[in-house]
Amino acid sequence: MVAVILDTRASPHCGDLARGLSPHTPTVGDEIALGTGTLFTEDTDAVITEIGLRPDDGPTHDWLNPEALYRCHSQTVRLELHPSGHR
């Protein structure tokens, strides 16, 4: 899954101090790889359907790249799904 940056703004989030991660404002057009795996969806109690990636190699946490997510924080993105090995 790749997030393509469409519009940017400064993020007010302080980041994850324990991991040394903080948001950084990317550039419009940046393509940020969020992770790989099998796409899944889940319906919630609200009217929202959640989408994510379940890693094929079995990690139990950080299914998406935390550093990449902080690069996307507060940004407007387009999510793209690419078959493994294709762009």
Domain ranges of the chain: 2-80
User: What digits encode the pLDDT tens for the residues 33-62?
Assistant: 999 999 888 887 777 788 888 888 877 788
Q: What is the pLDDT of residue 50?
A: 84
How does the average pLDDT of the chain come out, rounded?
88
Q: What is the pLDDT of residue 60?
A: 78
Specify burial of residue 49 (Cβ count, 10 A radius: 0-12, 13-18, 19+): exposed
Residues 5-33 have a mean pLDDT of: 92
> Terminus-to-terminus CA distance in the chain, angstroms?
11
Q: What is the pLDDT of residue 86?
A: 53
From the centroid of its chain, how far is CA 41?
15
At 82, the amino acid letter reads H
7 backbone dihedrals φ, ψ, rounded to 5°? -150, 145
pLDDT band for 85, please (50, 70, 90 cuts): low
Which residue has better confidence, 45 or 26?
26
pTM score of the predicted model: 0.82
Name residue, tokens 């090995």. Answer: 85
